[in-house]
Amino acid sequence: MNHVVVVGAGLSGVRSVEALRARGFGGRITLIGQERHRPYDRPPLSKSVLLGDADSSFVDSDLAALEVDFWPGVAAKALREGAVETTEGELGYDGLVIATGAEPILLPGDGPQHVLRTLDDSLELRARLVPGARVAVIGAGWIGAEVATAARRAGCAVTVVEAGPAPLTHAVGAELGARTQHWYEGIDLRLDTMVASVEEGGVSLVGGGFVDAHVVVTGIGVRPAVEWLADADLDLHNGVVTDEHLRTSLPNVVAVGDCAAWWSRRFGTRLRVEHWDTALGAPEVAAATLLGEEAVYDPVPYFWSEQFGHMVQYAGHHQAGERLVYRGEPTGKWSACWLAGDDTLAAVLAVDRPRDLVQGRRIIEAGHRLDTERLVDPDVPLRDC
Ligand code: FAD
């Protein structure tokens, strides 16, 4: 293999370059990224950057030392076997890493709406979060909650409009999400409320009603950025379909990060995880696969969110119908465990209880059964349950 092309210069793209070099690949590598920036981390965009504690979050990676040919501001437009068509012409490859991530879903309407995906988005939004500004955040998911945190901290008058019956409904279910509702103190939280469209001056609600806003932030989720692959002879289904080695349906093509839907041996299902830890870890396996080594991607997925002064961490993969057991009261530090039918731990969510997260992740990895009577006692360490 002489030339590897990596499309997408986010975390998973740059980690792919690093992993290829770390495994001794000495051929040519081209890294294509449609943003004008060098690779950066996204989690700080809704935290330290939005709060004004940092102005950037560039990944500490020396592209020159990695001897990578970096093409910023260049987009891939199409793929056929052996070549990527870009806005700067066609580029042949022997190996290809698809790392194009995800892009925010927008609401209908002609009014201005902010999203939060890029460094530029974050800096633009930050400039609008000034004392007294009326800010409407659409969606009380992970991003919506973090934006509401920053807007409240900046002294804005914040309305959060959520279609579900509780914050985080889509991510963790309404019952658990309801435990976070009291964090929204001082915010006009409208639950069970759907936005019809974004208009000049605010948002129209389904069934009538209008929320006045100087700033509208849409945080209703993302979709895998795979439009450029629409005509490629490649399996796409909720992202780029891969096997457990992160191999796609095309030879010598792997996919990583937010855009990849990989087969999980551990959970016996296909997973697409839109979180930082996956973008960090998957490229090791993808690089090995591309270089003909045997490697399997089979992590217990992990992510965190920082909202309203709380550290929320999640590990595992839960499914509807699994039993939820709580440890601790919602007013303090608490966690929640999803138990599968045989009392093995499927997932854990910890609020300001990092030990539960670390121990829970290990328990999930090991597949141990838990004693539910001990589990409900937050004073019993999770590893002893
Ligand atoms: P991306 O970071 O999306 O990078 C993909 C890159 O490819 C982008 O630069 C994109 O412009 C480029 N690209 C797309 N299409 C093309 C094309 N056709 N041609 C060329 N380039 C293209 N995760 C957590 O676990 N915890 C958090 O607290 C957390 N906070 C977050 C906060 C924000 C505001 C955001 C946006 C994400 C957050 N995440 C968090 C998620 C995490 O950042 C993502 O999972 C991670 O960035 C995924 O990395 P990636 O490289 O797969 O994709």
| 275, 297, 311, 361, best to mutate for ligand 1 pocket (most atoms within 8 Å of CB) | 275
Question: Is 212 in the same domain as 226?
Answer: no
Q: What angle do CA 66, 72, 78 make, to 5 degrees?
A: 105
Structural domains of the chain, count: 3
**Percent of the chain topping pLDDT 70:** 100
Q: Indicate which atom in ligand 1 lies nearest the CA of residue 39.
A: 9
Measure the CA–CA gap between 349 and 119, rounded to whole angstroms. Answer: 28
Find out whether the beta carbon of 180 lies less than 6 Å from any atom of ligand 1.
Answer: no
Measure the CA–CA gap between 34 and 42, rounded to whole angstroms. Answer: 15
State the pLDDT confidence band at 372, using cuts at 50, 70 and 90. Answer: confident
Measure the CA–CA gap between 264 and 244, rounded to whole angstroms. Answer: 6
Query: Is residue 31 over pLDDT 90?
Result: yes
**86 torsion bin: left (phi>0), alpha (psi -120 to 50), beta (else):** beta
Average per-residue pLDDT for the chain: 97
Find out whether the beta carbon of 161 lies less than 6 Å from any atom of ligand 1.
Answer: no
Tens-digit pLDDT profile for residues 201-226: 999 999 999 999 999 999 999 999 99
The residue whose two tokens read 């806003």 is 213
Instruction: Provide the 8-state DSSP code for 218.
Output: E
Domain assignment of residue 320, given as a range: 309-384
* N-to-C CA span, the chain: 50
**pLDDT at residue 182, rounded to an integer:** 98
Question: Is 122 in the same domain as 90?
Answer: no
CA of 367 to the centre of ligand 1 (A): 30
Task: Give the three-class secondary structure for 122.
Answer: helix
Q: Is 125 exposed, middle or buried (0-12, 13-18, 19+ CB in 10 A)?
A: buried
**Alpha carbon nearest to ligand 1 atom 26, residue:** 304
Question: Is residue 295 in a domain?
Answer: no
**Alpha carbon nearest to ligand 1 atom 47, residue:** 42
| 124, 276, 277, best to mutate for ligand 1 pocket (most atoms within 8 Å of CB) | 276
363, two tokens: 């328990």
Q: Indicate which atom in ligand 1 lies nearest the CA of residue 46.
A: 34
Find out whether the beta carbon of 275 lies less than 6 Å from any atom of ligand 1.
Answer: yes
Measure the CA–CA gap between 291 and 253, rounded to whole angstroms. Answer: 11
Question: Is 212 in the same domain as 227?
Answer: no
Q: Indicate which atom in ligand 1 lies nearest the CA of residue 74.
A: 20
Question: Is residue 193 in a domain?
Answer: yes
Question: Is 227 in the same domain as 96?
Answer: yes
**Alpha carbon nearest to ligand 1 atom 27, residue:** 43
CA of 10 to the centre of ligand 1 (A): 6
The answer to whether 132 touches 41, Cβ cutoff 8 Å, is: no
Question: Is 115 in the same domain as 211?
Answer: yes
**Alpha carbon nearest to ligand 1 atom 18, residue:** 76
Question: Is 86 in the same domain as 231?
Answer: yes
Question: Is residue 298 in a domain?
Answer: no
Question: Is 160 in the same domain as 139?
Answer: yes
Question: Is 185 in the same domain as 278?
Answer: no
Find out whether the beta carbon of 221 lies less than 6 Å from any atom of ligand 1.
Answer: no
Question: Is residue 303 in a domain?
Answer: no
Question: Is residue 331 in a domain?
Answer: yes
Find out whether the beta carbon of 272 lies less than 6 Å from any atom of ligand 1.
Answer: no
pTM, to two decimals: 0.96
Question: Is residue 116 in a domain?
Answer: yes
- Domain termination site, one of 260, 290, 320: 290
- Domain termination site, one of 198, 218, 238: 218
Question: Is 146 in the same domain as 176?
Answer: yes
CA quadruple 339, 343, 346, 348: dihedral positive or negative?
Answer: positive
Find out whether the beta carbon of 284 lies less than 6 Å from any atom of ligand 1.
Answer: no
Question: Is 111 in the same domain as 167?
Answer: yes
The answer to whether 10 touches 39, Cβ cutoff 8 Å, is: yes
67, two tokens: 């001897």
Rounded CA Rg of the chain: 22
Hey, how many other C-beta atoms are within 10 angstroms of the C-beta on 293? 11
Hey, how many other C-beta atoms are within 10 angstroms of the C-beta on 45? 25
Tens-digit pLDDT profile for residues 137-175: 999 999 999 999 999 999 999 999 999 999 999 999 999
Strand runs labelled E in 106-170: 134-138, 157-161
ipTM confidence: 0.99
Question: Is residue 300 in a domain?
Answer: no
Question: Is 185 in the same domain as 264?
Answer: no
Question: Is 112 in the same domain as 209?
Answer: yes
Tens-digit pLDDT profile for residues 57-108: 999 999 999 999 999 999 999 999 999 999 999 999 999 999 999 999 999 9
Find out whether the beta carbon of 84 lies less than 6 Å from any atom of ligand 1.
Answer: no
- Domain termination site, one of 218, 239, 256: 218
CA of 11 to the centre of ligand 1 (A): 7
β-strands 188-190, 157-161: how paired?
parallel
